[in-house]
């Protein structure tokens, strides 16, 4: 009878040490996430996050990725989001700039090191820019200033630069903590666990918000629990979805004998893009309303002002048009980003280099074209799934209007649908990572018999 190797999780000293280091670093991160920027008025930020304006949806999404730090406006308010943004920018630049593409293809190990180094370099200005943007965004949608003396007028430059530098340093501190987890704790899971810990930390507050409702309290809680369980179930199925393409590897010569060709498979993921399409679509969809806000000022009239008001009205979470455009953009970006990632991996040339082939397909570029066509077909259900996850707050309020506690067409979840996508993915990867560690240390459940 087989017995699970997970019963040795705590008795294996090395794995136990990694788990304790991971938990300790996460505790440090959560403490730092509650250290506010000096002089900040959190009540103003809370009002902007709940008012449902043009900037509220973007702030709520950034608040999700920062683990609730935007809501507290702590020194870690920008979270690790600038690092993720820098990583995405470089990934998109590689296929566009021939010199970068050549560097990555010539030596993949050195190319990976170059990519990591420049991601850190680019994350610093991105963190400073995001810190300034967050402050300007909250200020634009609040009637009162939430940070005194912020600006570039007389006597404001030094305090403003200090705040931006402190928030930039907070981002790099969060990235450093994530790297410590990846190096000394659970391998390659540092930044993911940092983000997941922040999302999970918001669960008690959301539960209290739902529980405090006077009307249909038990129904709302029950509906949200069932919806959360069903969403997790579907996320697991889609994230585990693969299309195995048969690949034949050539036989190897051992002495004077030639071994037979080996038949294997190349797994193609249904959802290769992960959360990235949601980030792209959310950022671009908020741009029209944010730009329009600069043209809508009290006392101004005219065609331009009316056009800006229309944009503000229809590109906010209170408008159904916003959600359907969001859905279409997520689906489109899922295809776009999947194509970019798959082109970088260049399976056609890599398989040709080792002599592998797909039956009935010529090696090289024809193989790459064939795999791309297969991937695009299986990406369709994954892209539609991401689109549904993105507009889940809107769909939930259509089914149960009483769920719109944080504004029209915006449901209050125990954990947001986008957050669940992150949490389930991180938990799944962490599970496989720990299972691999147990087997590496000899705790293979296939060898453990009573």
Rounded to an integer, what distance in angstroms lies between the CA atom of residue 301 and that of residue 273?
44
For residue 247, list its beta bridge partners: 264
Residue 55 pLDDT = 57
Least confident of 24-33, 88-97, 171-180: 88-97
pLDDT (tens digit per residue) in 219-245: 777 888 888 888 888 888 888 888 888
Residue identified by tokens 């689906």 is 331
Structure tokens at 30: 């959560």
As a whole number, mean pLDDT of residues 191-204 equals 82
Domains 13-202 and 242-252+261-413 share a fold: yes
Residue 450 pLDDT = 44
Residue 1 pLDDT = 36
Is the Cβ–Cβ distance between 317 and 57 less than 8 Å? Answer: yes
pLDDT above 50 (res 387): yes
pLDDT above 70 (res 258): no
> Which of the given ranges, 46-50, 63-67, 151-155, 223-227, has the highest pLDDT on average?
223-227
Give the up-direction half-sphere exposure of residue 321: CA atoms within 13 A in the CB hemisphere: 9
As a whole number, mean pLDDT of residues 166-172 equals 91
Rounded to an integer, what distance in angstroms lies between the CA atom of residue 442 and that of residue 447?
9
Rounded to an integer, what distance in angstroms lies between the CA atom of residue 22 and that of residue 297?
49
As a whole number, mean pLDDT of residues 119-127 equals 90
Instruction: Give the model's confidence band at 2: pLDDT under 50 very low, under 70 low, under 90 confident, else very high.
Output: very low
Coil/strand/helix, residue 182: helix
CATH 1.10.3370.10 fits 242-252+261-413, yes or no: yes
Closest CA to 329 of 391, 270, 371, 376: 391
pLDDT (tens digit per residue) in 51-62: 655 556 666 666
pLDDT above 70 (res 268): yes
Closest CA to 37 of 167, 188, 157: 167
110 burial type by CB count under 10 A (0-12 exposed, 13-18 middle, 19+ buried): exposed
Residue 168 pLDDT = 92
> Which of the given ranges, 18-22, 227-231, 318-322, has the highest pLDDT on average?
18-22
Instruction: Give the model's confidence band at 107: pLDDT under 50 very low, under 70 low, under 90 confident, else very high.
Output: confident
Residue 156 pLDDT = 76
Residue 173 pLDDT = 92
Is the Cβ–Cβ distance between 261 and 246 less than 8 Å? Answer: no
Cα-Cα-Cα-Cα dihedral sign, residues 161, 129, 421, 222: positive
Is the Cβ–Cβ distance between 404 and 410 less than 8 Å? Answer: yes
Residue 169 pLDDT = 92
As a whole number, mean pLDDT of residues 381-403 equals 82
- Give domain 13-202's CATH superfamily: SecY subunit domain (1.10.3370.10)
Gyration radius of the chain's alpha carbons: 25
Assign residue 310 a region: left if phi > 0, alpha if psi is -120 to 50, beta otherwise? alpha
As a whole number, mean pLDDT of residues 272-283 equals 79
389 burial type by CB count under 10 A (0-12 exposed, 13-18 middle, 19+ buried): buried
Domain ranges of the chain: 13-202, 242-252+261-413
């Amino acid at each position: 009878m087989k017995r699970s190797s997970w019963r040795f999780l705590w008795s294996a000293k090395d794995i136990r040490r990694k788990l304790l280091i991971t938990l300790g670093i996460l505790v440090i991160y959560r403490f730092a996430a509650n250290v506010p920027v000096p002089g900040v008025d959190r009540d103003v930020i809370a009002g902007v996050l709940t008012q449902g304006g043009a900037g509220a949806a973007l702030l709520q999404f950034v608040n999700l990725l920062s683990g609730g730090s935007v809501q507290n406006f702590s020194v870690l308010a920008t979270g690790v989001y600038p690092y993720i943004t820098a990583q995405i920018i470089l990934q998109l630049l590689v296929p566009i700039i021939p010199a970068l593409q050549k560097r990555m293809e010539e030596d993949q190990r050195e190319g990976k090191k170059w990519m990591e180094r420049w991601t850190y370099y680019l994350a610093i200005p991105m963190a400073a820019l995001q810190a300034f943007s967050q402050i300007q965004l909250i200020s634009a949608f609040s009637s009162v200033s939430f940070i005194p003396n912020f600006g570039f007028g007389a006597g404001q430059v030094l305090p403003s630069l200090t705040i931006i530098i402190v928030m930039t340093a907070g981002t790099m501190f969060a990235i450093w903590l994530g790297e410590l987890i990846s190096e000394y704790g659970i391998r390659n899971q540092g930044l993911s666990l940092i983000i997941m810990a922040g999302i999970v930390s918001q669960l008690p507050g959301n539960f209290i918000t739902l529980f405090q409702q006077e009307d249909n309290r038990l129904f709302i809680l029950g509906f949200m629990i069932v919806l959360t369980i069903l969403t997790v179930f579907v996320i697991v199925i889609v994230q585990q979805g693969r299309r195995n393409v048969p690949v034949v590897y050539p036989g190897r010569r051992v002495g004077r004998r030639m071994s037979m060709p080996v038949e294997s498979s190349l797994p193609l993921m249904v959802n290769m893009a992960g959360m990235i399409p949601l980030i792209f679509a959310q950022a671009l969809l908020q741009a029209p309303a944010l730009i329009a806000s600069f043209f809508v000022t009290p006392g101004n009239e005219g065609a331009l002002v009316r056009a800006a008001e229309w944009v503000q009205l229809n590109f906010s979470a209170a408008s159904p048009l916003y959600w359907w455009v969001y859905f279409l953009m997520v689906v489109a970006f899922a295809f776009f980003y999947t194509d970019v990632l798959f082109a970088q991996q260049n399976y056609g040339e890599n398989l040709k280099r080792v002599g592998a082939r797909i039956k009935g397909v010529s090696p090289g570029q024809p193989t790459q074209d064939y795999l791309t066509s297969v991937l695009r077909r299986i990406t369709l259900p994954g892209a539609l799934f991401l689109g549904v996850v993105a507009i889940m707050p809107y769909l939930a309020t259509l089914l149960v209007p009483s769920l719109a506690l944080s504004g029209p067409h915006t449901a209050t979840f125990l954990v947001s649908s986008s957050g669940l996508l992150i949490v389930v993915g991180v938990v799944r990867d962490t599970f496989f990572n720990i299972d691999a560690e147990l087997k590496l240390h000899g705790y293979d459940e296939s060898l453990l018999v009573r």
